[in-house]
Structure 1
Amino acid sequence: MTWIPDGLAEAFAAAWTDDILVRDLASRLTCIEVELLATVLRVCGGAPEYGDDWIGAHAETDQPGDQHYRGPAAA
């Protein structure tokens, strides 16, 4: 297991939990990239819900066959 210095996990989570950043960047990440980022945010503490936010924002632009594709939005 890798040791993470005090405060680093919280600082990382704080840097990646800006709503504008999530909205603007999530669609540009690959499925594996967003999965890994979401996992790190979930384990960093202080912002586990942002893992789901990143996945949700990313899923909005996934295509059929992509890991996070959720089908057409309901009207």
Structure 2
Amino acid sequence: MKRLFLDFVNQTDGKRRRITVPNPKLDLTSEQVSQAMDMLISLGAIPSGYVKDRAAIVETTTNEFFNLL
């Protein structure tokens, strides 16, 4: 499963916030992601005082041995 992590940090106290987007588009550019993060900040979806910190697409693989329920 691929997920896009959008990380923000508070400049005052160092606290962090993360928005996780499941199954991001495969052809995303760093510019598109940066603009989206700027938009989230400008729309107030991210609390004031927070700035962009990091964005990354993370892919995880699960090897399940068993599932009892």
Q: What is the TM-score when the length of structure 2 is the normalising length?
A: 0.36
Higher relative contact order (CA 8 A, sep 6+): 2
Decide which structure has greater helix share: 1
Give the number of the structure whose alpha-carbon radius of gyration is greater.
2
Q: What is the TM-score when the length of structure 1 is the normalising length?
A: 0.34
